[in-house]
């Protein structure tokens, strides 16, 4: 969703062990750039560090460091030999940003290390010389990698980070169907995307099946998340086409009006139960997408057979999500909209909700959309790491009540009980005026 996940939130989420899906309501180039920012945000060893030539200006260096949020750049010549390094402190008091980097970079007595240097060895070198960046060079002086002190600290600070084999954070990217979707997929995979999410409202369709097959043929190793579906038949067909993971949910999202506008959908828990059973039969995992309002809903979705959940509104109010914080009646909010809302359908993701009405519209209403979503505001929730801590704490408690130490145990031991409306109301705080909200329970979330 374009009000939920871009590079900043994807980075924060991966550091907590999650996977962000960068939305596709961007140009292909901009989406690929967002993916690239995530992949370059940290690494055990940066094997393809960003560099500049000594002839580049300070203005170019400042722009590059600002774009990737880095504090320094290795300087190489035309043969990729390391000739210097430029850091923030080298240009702290510079006034003429048209001057070349060579006038400011550190070129003498550069501290380097050979390829194969371990993180522990690098940490000792960085500490010994009181530096923050350690270039790795071959025997001819060519730059072959970079280890930074920040990356070493991040490994200590975020022990549960979701990373690839090179120590970079994991990130996925959303694509549509057809040739445009395939072009987008190729661009984001080239930028480093670890998975592709085919982003459509109705996943059990020929367009999605054909796109999965084409992606699987071009990229046999890339994980493909496809959806959304709510039936066993949908899971079967997407799995047969080559999907690795199937997203389940139609009309369950807080901003979705599909069930009201189109009369289509299925209760989310029922859909997850049905599709999870089919997933086990056809060898694919299930992601429950939509309807998550509290940490307890994550517990229920996983107990029903899902391997993961996809979050939208819960993350939209976080500091790292796109958009500015707005103040309304003394409280902080962030904008949030469904991809089926009118404003979102005017963007590049308009094909997510293809309707028969738009295809057969008469000339006097051509170009108009039939929305299946709304837009609004969600309460500001602060930093992602603090919010995810609450979500995971609730999930751990739920699994503890069931007596499950793992997801397979959860699937085996969990039982569901149908409850009445009175029981539902009893489950929430009642018979009291709440004067201080808990960090994991807010009145403004709404009850229905």
Task: Provide DSSP, 219-273.
Answer: -TTS-EEEEEE-SHHHHHHHHHHT-SEEEE-SS-STTB-HHHHT-----HHHHHH
The reported pLDDT for the residue numbered 356 is: 45
Running DSSP on this structure, what letter comes out for residue 187? H
Whole-structure pTM value: 0.83
Residue whose pair of structure tokens reads 């999650």 in the numeric block: 18
Report the distance separating Cα 279 and Cα 411, nearest Å.
Answer: 13
Kindly state the tokens that stand for 158: 């975020």
Per the rule left: phi > 0, alpha: psi between -120 and 50, beta: everything else, 249 is left
What are the backbone angles phi and psi of residue 66, rounded to the nearest 5°? -70, -40
Kindly state the tokens that stand for 388: 């995810």
Domain 58-157, CATH: 3.10.580.10
Residue ranges covered by each domain of the chain: 7-40+169-320+381-445, 58-157
Q: Which CATH class is domain 7-40+169-320+381-445?
A: alpha beta
**For the chain, how far is it from start to end, CA to CA, in angstroms?**
24
Sign of CA dihedral 206, 174, 386, 44: positive
pLDDT digits (tens, 9 = 90+) for 304-361: 999 999 999 899 999 999 978 889 888 898 888 766 666 656 655 556 555 444 455 5
Tell me the CB-side half-sphere exposure of residue 212, using CA atoms within 13 A. 27
The reported pLDDT for the residue numbered 212 is: 98
Running DSSP on this structure, what letter comes out for residue 191? T
Residue whose pair of structure tokens reads 């067909």 in the numeric block: 237
What are the backbone angles phi and psi of residue 400, rounded to the nearest 5°? -65, -40
Residues annotated as catalytic (active site), given as ranges: 256, 352
User: How distant is the alpha carbon of residue 182 from its chain centre?
Assistant: 20
User: How distant is the alpha carbon of residue 300 from its chain centre?
Assistant: 22
pLDDT digits (tens, 9 = 90+) for 167-178: 899 999 999 999
Report the distance separating Cα 352 and Cα 334, nearest Å.
Answer: 23
Report the distance separating Cα 445 and Cα 377, nearest Å.
Answer: 11
The reported pLDDT for the residue numbered 259 is: 85
Kindly state the tokens that stand for 21: 């899906």
Compute the residue count for the chain.
Answer: 448
Residue whose pair of structure tokens reads 């997203």 in the numeric block: 247
The reported pLDDT for the residue numbered 357 is: 47
Kindly state the tokens that stand for 65: 């460091």
Are the beta carbons of 238 and 226 closer than 8 angstroms?
Answer: yes
Running DSSP on this structure, what letter comes out for residue 109? T
**Residue ranges, the chain, pLDDT below 70:** 1, 338-368, 371, 374, 443-448
Residues whose CB falls within 8 Å of the CB of residue 68, separated by 6 or more in sequence, listed in order = 37, 40, 50
DSSP string, 378-445: EE--B-HHHHHHHHHHHHHHHHHHHT-SSHHHHHHH-------HHHHHHHS--SS--SS-BTTB-GGG
Report the distance separating Cα 7 and Cα 322, nearest Å.
Answer: 9
Kindly state the tokens that stand for 412: 């085996």
Are the beta carbons of 20 and 172 closer than 8 angstroms?
Answer: yes
Sign of CA dihedral 65, 67, 70, 71: positive
H helical segments located in 18-107: 28-40, 58-68
The three-point CA angle 344-201-238 to 5° equals 145
Residues whose CB falls within 8 Å of the CB of residue 396, separated by 6 or more in sequence, listed in order = none
* Residue 253 burial (CB count, 10 A): 24
The reported pLDDT for the residue numbered 446 is: 46
């Amino acid at each position: 969703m374009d009000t939920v996940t871009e590079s900043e939130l994807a980075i924060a989420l991966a550091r907590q062990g999650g996977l962000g899906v960068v939305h596709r309501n961007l140009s292909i180039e901009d989406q690929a750039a967002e993916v690239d920012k995530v992949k370059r945000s940290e690494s055990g060893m940066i094997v393809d560090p960003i560099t500049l030539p000594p002839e580049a200006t300070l203005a170019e260096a400042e722009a590059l460091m600002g774009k990737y949020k880095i504090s320094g750049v290795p300087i190489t010549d035309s043969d990729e030999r390391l000739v210097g390094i430029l850091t923030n402190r080298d240009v702290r008091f510079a006034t003429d940003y048209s001057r070349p980097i060579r006038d400011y970079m550190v070129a003498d007595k550069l501290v380097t290390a050979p390829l194969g240097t371990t993180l522990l060895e690098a940490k000792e070198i960085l500490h010994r010389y009181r530096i923050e960046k350690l270039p790795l060079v071959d025997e001819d002086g060519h730059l072959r990698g970079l280890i930074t002190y920040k990356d070493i600290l991040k490994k200590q600070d975020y022990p549960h980070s979701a990373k690839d084999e090179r120590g970079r954070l994991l990130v996925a990217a959303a694509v549509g169907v057809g040739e445009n979707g395939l072009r987008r997929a190729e661009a984001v995979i080239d930028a480093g995307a670890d998975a592709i999410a085919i982003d459509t409202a109705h996943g059990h369709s020929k367009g999605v099946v054909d796109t999965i097959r084409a992606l699987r043929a071009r990229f046999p190793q890339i994980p493909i998340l496809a959806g959304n579906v709510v039936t066993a038949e949908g899971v079967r067909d997407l799995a047969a086409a080559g999907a690795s993971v199937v997203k389940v949910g139609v009309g369950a999202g807080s901003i979705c009006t599909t069930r009201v506008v189109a009369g289509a959908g299925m209760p989310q828990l029922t859909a997850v139960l049905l599709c999870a059973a089919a997933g086990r039969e056809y060898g694919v995992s299930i992601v429950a997408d939509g309807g998550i309002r509290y940490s307890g809903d994550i517990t229920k979705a996983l107990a029903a057979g899902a391997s993961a959940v996809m979050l939208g509104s819960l993350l939209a109010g976080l500091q790292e999500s796109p958009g500015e914080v707005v103040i309304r009646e003394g409280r902080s909010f962030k904008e949030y909209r469904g991809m089926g809302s009118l404003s979102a359908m005017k963007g590049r993701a308009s094909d997510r909700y293809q309707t028969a009405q738009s295809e057969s519209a008469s000339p006097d209403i051509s170009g108009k959309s039939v929305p299946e979503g709304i837009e609004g505001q969600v309460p500001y929730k602060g930093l992602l790491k603090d919010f995810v801590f609450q979500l995971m704490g609730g999930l751990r408690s739920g699994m503890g009540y069931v007596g499950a130490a793992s997801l397979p145990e959860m699937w085996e031991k969990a039982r569901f009980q149908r409850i009445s409306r009175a029981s539902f109301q009893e489950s929430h705080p009642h018979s009291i005026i709440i004067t201080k909200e808990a960090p994991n329970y807010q009145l403004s979330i709404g009850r229905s």
